[in-house]
Amino acid sequence: MSLDSTLKVIGKSLRMRGAWGTLVFAGGVAKDGVSQMMPARRAAPRAARRADEAFDEQFGTDTAGRISTSKLDIESSDWVFGHGYQAASAEWLREVIGRLGIRHADYHFFDLGCGKARPVLVASDFPFARVVGVEWSPELVEVARKNLEVYAHPAQGCRDIEVRRGDATTTALPAAPLVIYMYNPFTSEIMSRCIENIERRVEGGGGPVVVLYANPLHLDLWTASPAFRLLHTEEDLAVLVDHGHADGFPWRADE
Ligand SMILES: C[S@@+](CC[C@H](N)C(=O)[O-])C[C@H]1O[C@@H](n2cnc3c(N)ncnc32)[C@H](O)[C@@H]1O
């Protein structure tokens, strides 16, 4: 983060939570910020950057780059608890979604904190009933919607695609089988709210809910949830399924 951005964050935080609160907040952000990048990416940053650029070159999209939260035009006072933008690897995500042995046409795919929507595009290559991205930065929503317009993959299996402007922690979730994906979008302060929202959907019924949590820094909050069972973990990913549908859930862990 540049000095300018850092000063902006500190100024906003001092106004919102005072000096002590700002110190506590800074500790949490520093801890999260260091580990925001997925381990595979950290190990080979140049290769990751090249892959990012290759995706955009191939599809004429704009999904690469990193943008810190202080540079985003987020109206919510919760902005300090959100992480900035960085896209997941398309290749990695394609492989992860491919390990779900589900009938895609039965499921809606949600990316909570979709940024410029690269995962929304990748998910739309699978024949999901619907693919939805939720993002609170209007600027990123605009870029994401343009990406949706220009993306044309020969394999695109879903045409019902939407990028919704709003708060990912409170967004309406349909009573339909769901794949919920997120790439470490927020700090623990608001992850709990996001989990509660998804728990309400599980309690209300509507079929299986599977969560693909990339860079799962706050997995402890998920494993404490009475609604979910942890099915699988690896360095960059945790997979959880609601208890009612966890037995025999078709996830291929060994690829
Ligand atoms: C690390 S990026 C991940 C982008 C995308 N999901 C991916 O995997 O490529 C996290 C995104 O979440 C967004 N975000 C963070 N908190 C949010 C919230 N409460 N509501 C909506 N979007 C949020 C950020 O603006 C950022 O674009």
Which CATH number goes with the domain that contains 161? 3.40.50.150
Give the distance (Å) from ligand 1 centre to CA of residue 2. Answer: 20
Range of the domain at 181: 90-246
Q: What are the Cα distances from residue 135, in Å, to 63, 116, 186? A: 14, 9, 12
Q: Does residue 252 lie in a domain region?
A: no
Q: Does residue 84 lie in a domain region?
A: no
Q: Closest residue (by CA) to atom 12 of ligand 1?
A: 113
pLDDT in tens, the chain (255 residues): 556 666 666 776 666 556 655 665 565 555 555 456 676 666 677 888 888 899 999 999 999 998 988 888 888 877 777 888 999 999 999 999 999 999 999 999 999 999 999 999 999 999 999 999 999 999 999 999 999 999 988 878 999 999 999 999 999 999 999 999 999 998 888 899 999 999 999 999 999 999 999 999 999 999 999 999 999 999 899 999 999 999 999 998 865
40 and 96 in contact (C-beta within 8 Å)? no
Q: Does residue 181 lie in a domain region?
A: yes
Q: Of 94, 124, 183, which is best to mutate to test ligand 1, by the most ligand atoms within 8 angstroms of its C-beta?
A: 183
Q: Does residue 76 lie in a domain region?
A: no
According to DSSP, residue 247 is labeled T
Give the distance (Å) from ligand 1 centre to CA of residue 176. Answer: 23
DSSP sequence for 181-239: EEES-B-HHHHHHHHHHHHHHHHH--S-EEEEEES-TTHHHHHT-TTEEEEEEETTEEE
Q: 166's torsion region: left (phi>0), alpha (psi -120 to 50) or beta?
A: left
Ligand 1 site residues (CB inside 6 A) read 72, 82-83, 85-88, 111, 113-115, 118-119, 134-137, 140, 167-169, 183-186
pTM summary value: 0.87
Give the distance (Å) from ligand 1 centre to CA of residue 248. Answer: 31
Q: Tokens 């987020």 belong to which residue?
A: 74
Q: Does residue 118 lie in a domain region?
A: yes
Name the domain count of the chain.
1
Q: Does residue 156 lie in a domain region?
A: yes
Give the distance (Å) from ligand 1 centre to CA of residue 51. Answer: 20
Q: Does residue 160 lie in a domain region?
A: yes
Q: Does residue 183 lie in a domain region?
A: yes
Q: Closest residue (by CA) to atom 14 of ligand 1?
A: 113
Residues 104 and 17: their CA atoms lie apart, in Å, by 44
SS3 170: coil
